[in-house]
Amino acid sequence: MSAAARAAGNAAAGGGQPDAAAVRDYLSGLQQRIVDRLEAFEGPDGARFLRDAWQRPGPGEPGESVDDARNAGDSRAAAARQPDAAGAALGGGGLTMVIENGKVFERGAVLFSQVLGASLPASASAHRPGLGGRPFEATGVSLVLHPRNPYVPTVHMNVRFLVAGTPADAAADAAPIWWFGGGMDLTPYYPFEKDVVRFHATCKQALAPFGPQWHPRFKKWCDDYFFLKHRNEPRGIGGIFFDDLAEPGFDTSFAMMRAVGDAFLDAYAPIVERHRDARWGERERDFQAWRRGRYVEFNLIHDRGTLFGLQSGGRTESILCSMPPLAAWRYDWRPEPGSPEARLHEFLVPRDWV
């Protein structure tokens, strides 16, 4: 979609004016709710999330919009009007929350960030070249959890909001362009049909109030996106994924993003509860490490979120804390036919689970 078409769509959709502050408040609260629930799995004496608040100086401080920074009337406004060829982030901050060496979660990260930049990175503007060079504000919560027990799946969830500001030479009445994105997907090692069906059913239920058209669209998008082209195989069993969501208007788009974020714990926590005490041995851990290698490959080669973070001058420690603590590669190795490990591939074929 062209920048002009997107701007027209934002204007025509109506449904309330963009409220970046409301989005930030929701996302910050979502991060804390998820962390509280995950820490409960570790027990009163278990591991806790490290809290690492960070901030970057630049044309805007956390809580200040791109247009506020541009119109501030000081040196920061001038800086905001100058695109950075590298797309470097020039402002913002966030809260990185990481758990390591837990009884349940070997490693996990639940991240909140608000990044303001002078030039929209290539990973966000490749499909919309008309937005290239615009100042931007990106706010989101992203999480990846790598459980210790191989019978508990790895999971990823992300909800985000991006505003591309007006160019320096734009008309005075030009409006910024905004959109939402997000989703969640499950990556099991030893899958159980009950878990897979529940996960997909919860995703479908979250979107149901907004109409029957959204879940099939977002499910297929997830199947297509989380696919390792160089391996010709899916990363996991899918879920939902969406980007560029603006057509229903701000209020409805924001409500859809909240519905996805709020559904995460209901989709995932019962799976953790069911399998966290399952017995496992060296064989299961070896297979888990081998499959984690596929996860690393996807994140470093294909994932647009990782690329956006690095291209926007994001905080490298926060971006890469989604990686598993241990992973393995074996030359041309394949599970033995008929083995529990080989059974995984039966689940990796996309299908309608609900």
Q: How many residues does the chain have?
A: 354
C-alpha to C-alpha distance for 66 and 137, rounded to whole angstroms:
6
Catalytic residue among 146, 156, 200, 215: 156
Cβ neighbours, 10 Å, residue 36 = 11
Cβ neighbours, 10 Å, residue 146 = 25
Q: Note the Cα 79 to chain centre separation in Å.
A: 29
Catalytic-residue membership of 127: no
Strand residues in 32-153 grouped as ranges (E):
50-56, 89-100, 105-117, 136-147
Q: Scanning the structure block, which residue is given the tokens 């990846």?
A: 144
DSSP 210: G
Tens-digit pLDDT string for the chain (354 aa): 444 444 444 544 456 788 999 999 999 999 999 999 999 999 999 999 999 999 876 543 433 433 443 343 333 333 333 334 344 446 888 999 999 999 999 999 999 999 887 777 666 555 665 666 678 889 999 999 999 999 999 999 999 999 987 666 555 566 778 999 999 999 999 999 999 999 999 999 999 999 999 999 999 999 999 999 999 999 999 999 999 999 999 999 999 999 999 999 999 999 999 999 999 999 999 999 999 999 999 999 998 888 877 876 777 888 898 999 999 999 999 999 999 999 999 999 999 999
C-alpha to C-alpha distance for 221 and 235, rounded to whole angstroms:
13
Q: Radius of gyration over alpha carbons of the chain, in Å?
A: 21
Tokens of 214: 């959204």
Per-residue pLDDT tens over the stretch 153-176: 999 999 999 998 766 655 556 677
pTM across the whole model: 0.85
Residue 331 amino acid letter: Y
